[in-house]
Amino acid sequence: MSFKPTSYRLMNVATGRVFDDAGWTMGDPEGGSPSLVRAVYENKRFTPRDDLDGIYRYADWMPIKRTLRKSCAPVTYKSKGLARYLGLENLYITFSGWNPRIGAKMRTCSFKETEAYSVLARMDAREKRILIVQSAGNTARAFAQVCSDNRIPIVICVPEDNLHDLWFRRKLHPCVKLVAAPHGCDYYDAITLGEKLASDPRYMLEGGAKNVARRDGMGTTLLSCVEQMGRIPDAYFQAVGSGTGAIAAWENACRLGEDGRFGENKMRVYVAQNEPFTLMYDSWKAGSRALVDLDPEKGRHEAEVVLASVLSNRKPPYSLAGGLFDTLKASGGDFYTATNNEIVHWMLQFRNREGYDLLPAACVAVTALAKAVEDGTVGKDEYVMLNCTGGGVLGAMSKGFVLKEPDLVLSPDLPAEEIVRQVNGLF
């Protein structure tokens, strides 16, 4: 069966201006204030597609042109063990990772696969430019795997200190090129590398939170939950590095509210970061739309000591119109933090209560939920979605794995022309 793309337009969140998608537009072509652009779908009803596999079950609310091989959708189930332990009557866990027992088969063990299968499916199959993705780890692993499976050329920029996250069950196809920022660099430095490479028209940035396909791919976590829950949750919990996943969940909650069959959208969004890297938490608690000042060296040090290093983004889409600040304001949500010790505690508790392992970032969300229950923010009879964004690594790696070594190690301080010259040599 041939795939028929869904019909949609784009809307500037700040101005309300609606316009046609120009192919790879990251914002309103007329410019204006810094703002996210949101997809507005012709189909206003939530209609999962039984005729499509994996994540493309939700294709009617994804801005894609095609489908790709080997995708999986997030899996949602009503918790028993953790719910009983926390005293919650209606806790639903949405899991994106590896646990075949419950039907979860994301081979990279991270909900970043939802981004990759949406972003890459938005690209035209005839696209000649080479995609650039900047990542602290999980996003790199997801895009590398999906591109390898579907033979899509890509350059992935990561910090060299995060190369341990670049594990795969099999060797990748050579269409995947890995460029690392040297030891001591962080995610922000990887972003800088990618931006300099994108100065050459042969390459194009994936776009991060500004790419509607990334957000709507990540938003399938909420769609998975609503399918099982039958309604919009009262409260949503997730750990955040950029906040894109929480923004995406809120956008889909708004769409579901317009549908009308799942109740009014009163979902409160609760997010959390790993201490001591708490840039967005500090900004939120200061009541500031603008990010508070963070010394680069201090930020790098904090990123080195947190267990959930993927949450250490020094350039998140917090302040943009439609970004995380606006999401928390609009939803009546709040911010929590988790220490490394708390993460370890909930990694053990979760495995004991639910029977599988979570990545540290997901346990930041579990910590936030436990604190919200303890302080009375969440009622025991409320409908709660816990977005467990990754896990199952022990099972996924049980039959062995290979590490992807960098094709180049380049300083982000190099001139853009030199970075382009060296990367061109890989192709």
Mind listing the pLDDT tens digit for each residue in 319-378?
999 999 999 999 999 999 999 999 999 999 999 999 999 999 999 999 999 999 999 999
**pLDDT over threshold 70, residue 1:** no
Q: What is the DSSP string of 358-420?
A: B-HHHHHHHHHHHHHHHTTSS-TTSEEEEEE-BB-HHHHTTT--EE---SEE--TTS-HHHHH
Q: What average pLDDT does this structure show over 394-400?
A: 87
Query: Binning pLDDT at 50, 70 and 90, where does residue 211 land?
Result: very high
What does residue 90 show for φ and ψ, rounded to 5 degrees? -135, 60
Helices (H), ranges, 90-172: 112-122, 138-150
Instruction: Pinpoint the alpha helices (H) of 200-339.
Output: 212-218, 220-229, 244-259, 279-285, 296-305, 324-331
Secondary element (H or E) of residue 84: helix 81-86
Fold: same for 75-107+213-396 and 130-201+401-427: yes
pLDDT at 170 over 80: yes
Domain boundaries along the sequence of the chain: 75-107+213-396, 130-201+401-427
pLDDT in tens, 217-274: 999 999 999 999 999 999 999 999 999 999 999 999 999 999 999 999 999 999 999 9
Give the integer Cα–Cα distance in Å for 131 and 152: 9
Chain mean pLDDT for the chain: 95
Whether residue 147 has pLDDT greater than 60: yes
Count other C-beta atoms under 10 Å from residue 31's C-beta: 9
User: Can you tell me whether residue 205 is helix, strand or coil?
Assistant: strand
Does 29 or 127 have the greater pLDDT score? 127
Q: Which two tokens stand for residue 384?
A: 């709660």
Q: What is the mean pLDDT of residues 373-394?
A: 97
What does the pLDDT look like over 105-126, one tens digit per residue? 999 999 999 999 999 999 999 9
pLDDT range class, residue 203, cuts 50, 70, 90: very high
Dist. CA 155–CA 419, nearest whole Å: 12
Tell me the pLDDT tens digit for each residue of 45-86.
999 999 999 999 999 999 999 999 999 999 999 999 999 999
Amino acid symbol at 91: L
CB 54 within 8 A of CB 72: yes
Whether the predicted pLDDT of 35 surpasses 80: yes
For 171-183, what is each residue's pLDDT tens digit? 999 999 999 999 9
Whether residue 291 is predicted with pLDDT greater than 60 in this model: the reply is: yes
As a CATH number, domain 130-201+401-427 is 3.40.50
The CATH architecture assigned to 75-107+213-396 reads 3-Layer(aba) Sandwich (3.40)
